[in-house]
Each structure stands twice: as C-alpha cells, then as structure tokens.
Amino acid sequence: MTSLTAKDKDTVKAFWAKISPKAAAIGADALGRMLVVYPQTKTYFAHWNDLSPGSAPVKKHGATVMGGVGEAVGKIDNLTAGLLNLSELHAFTLRVDPANFKILAHNILVVLACTFPSDFTPEVHVAMDKFLAAVALALSEKYR
Amino acid sequence: MVVWSEQERSIINSIFSSLDYNDAGPKALSRCLIVYPWTQRYFASFGNLYNAEAIKSNPNVQAHGIKVLHGLDRAVKNMDNIKATYAELSVLHSEKLHVDPDNFKLLADCLTIVIAAKMGSAFTPEVQAAFQKFLAVVVSALGKQYH
C-alpha cells in the first residue's frame, strides 16, 4: 500500500481533532456494528457475557481500540516504530488475524459517515482509509 | 440460494423507496473515483478527473452515477433471484466493459458510506447488515459470468 503524504497526515490530524471528543462512542459503535455485520469476528470475544451493540464490554473495548487509533494519530510520522508494543500484543497475545483489521476499519469509516456526514467528505474518507490501512500494516509488523 | 428474512426485505425496500437517486448516485460514484483512484481507468472518456473537485462536478460522472444506481432496481424487485436477473449485466461488465470484478466491492463500499451519511443514526447495525448482505449478493451476481 502507498505511504501517507503530508496532505494525508494533515487531513487525518485535522479530522481527528474534530472527532476525538466522541472517540469512545465511535469505537463502541464501530465494534458493535462489526460483531453484528461480520459475525465471524465474535470468535475473538467468546469470553464476554454480552456481545450486543451498546453492552458494557463492547463500550469499554470500543473505547480502548479508539484510544489506540488516537495514539496512532500522534505517532503518524512513524507508525511502525510507534506501534511496536501494540503490534507485539496483537501478534503474540491476541493473535488477531490481520484480515480483521480491514473489517474493523470499514466499520469505523461507516460510523464516521453516520456521525459526521458533512465532514466525512471523499477527501477525508480517502485520507482516513489510507491511515487506517497504514495502522493495520504497523500492527501486523511483528506477526511473522 | 440466498434466504431473506421479512425484516431484511423490508429494510432493503425502505432504503430504495426513499432514495434520491440523483443525489446518491453521483455521490457514490464520485466517492469511488476519489477514494480508489485506480477505478478511473474505466472512465478515460469522461473528461476532467484530475482532482476531487473536478470529479465531483463532472457531468458525465453524475449521469453515470445515476445510471448505475438505477441498475440496482432490478435486484430490489427480484431479490429471490438476483443471480439470474444480473446474468446479462455480468456478461456486459466482463466481455464489453472489461471491469475487474474486485471493483464492484469498492463501489458497494462507497454506496454504503453514502447511505450511512444520509441515514445517520437510522443506519443501525441491523440495517447495515441487511444492506451489505444485499450488495454482496449483487456483487457476487455481477461477477458470476466472468471466465
């Protein structure tokens, strides 16, 4: 995949500044959607007592995941180095199949479209799509 | 055989009966050309596609977006046999238009984003699931006649 241009990074940072107050809610919504629309992803959360959208574990974990995305925005100039610890976590402990990063990214984009319909322009969409793909790549670094 | 629940049928019909084709069509196609620029390869004859602004205001893109969106009408009316309904369109996209079928999914994703933006909180996880299932069946049917 292509690397992020200066324009991509500026677009991501500006959009993130706008949406970060709602980051936890966005994460919860995206995660809840993913579990409904892509039921195979539920296999990673068999230990939760409630996987429905809006449930306590989904809300908590959605906030955690978006916290990670926010961290990535701060380290946008070197995602591979910046997300090393998170990559090790996903590779050795969580062992999430990296195909799922794309699925979650799609659901984050859907939530952004729902929540910020006029701000989520095609230009912002392409920058965010590239950014989330770059984050997924950095998270996959330590897998093998 | 694709099985549709009553709820799924109702969701799909509701989305399309309240859809403004003249708005959503151009938005979906132009978003696809901007977010996935390699899809522009099929529209060399459309004129100026040099940047996002040019794409959004290009009248050929707008007209074609409306046409493509209306192409989904037949699937909505024949949900129990989308594969047969689109056999001819699949041959067209393969033999005449030479469209890589992976691109169908890209346009489907952009249409999902456009509908999500329009419906806001009404685009619940259940609605999203039904809509994406519908588009996945359409995408599969359009790719069926490729060889």
For chain A, domain boundaries: 6-140
Spell out the alpha helix ranges (H) of B18-144.
21-35, 52-57, 59-70, 73-77, 82-85, 87-91, 102-119, 125-143
Whether residue A106 and residue B109 make contact (CB cut-off 8 A), yes or no, is yes
Distance from CA of B35 to the nearest CA of A (A): 5
Which position has the token pair 């001819």? B88
> What is the pTM for the complete model shown?
0.91
Whether residue B123 and residue A123 make contact (CB cut-off 8 A), yes or no, is no
- Chain A residues lying within 8 Å of B117, measured CB to CB: 113-114, 117, 120
CA distances B63 to A28, B21, B58, Å, are: 38, 10, 9
Residue A1 pLDDT exceeds 60: no
With beta carbons less than 8 A apart as the criterion, state whether A113 and B117 touch.
Answer: yes
With beta carbons less than 8 A apart as the criterion, state whether B48 and B58 touch.
Answer: yes
Say what the ipTM of the complex is.
0.85
Would an 8 Å CB–CB cutoff place A99 in contact with chain B? no
- Coarse DSSP helix, strand, coil percentages of chain A, rounded to the nearest 5 percent: 75, 0, 25
pLDDT of residue B55: 97
Residue B99 phi/psi, 5° resolution? Answer: -90, 125
Would an 8 Å CB–CB cutoff place B116 in contact with chain A? yes
Residue-wise pLDDT tens digits, A25-65: 999 999 999 999 999 999 999 999 999 999 999 999 999 99
CATH of domain B6-143: 1.10.490.10
Residue B7 pLDDT exceeds 60: yes
Distance from CA of B11 to the nearest CA of A (A): 14
Whether residue A110 and residue B113 make contact (CB cut-off 8 A), yes or no, is yes
Residue-wise pLDDT tens digits, B83-133: 999 999 999 999 999 999 989 999 999 999 999 999 999 999 999 999 999
Q: What is the mean pLDDT of chain B?
A: 96
Q: Does domain A6-140 have CATH number 3.40.190.10?
A: no
Give one DSSP letter per residue of B37-63, joined into a string. Answer: GGGGGGGGGG---SSHHHHHH-HHHHH
User: Which chain A residue is nearest to residue B33, measuring alpha carbons?
Assistant: A122
- Chain B residues lying within 8 Å of A126, measured CB to CB: 34-35
Whether residue A113 and residue B116 make contact (CB cut-off 8 A), yes or no, is yes
pLDDT of residue A68: 97
Q: How confident is the model at residue B147 (pLDDT cuts 50, 70, 90)?
A: confident
Residue A93's CB: how many other CB atoms inside 10 A?
8
Amino acid identity of B68?
Answer: V
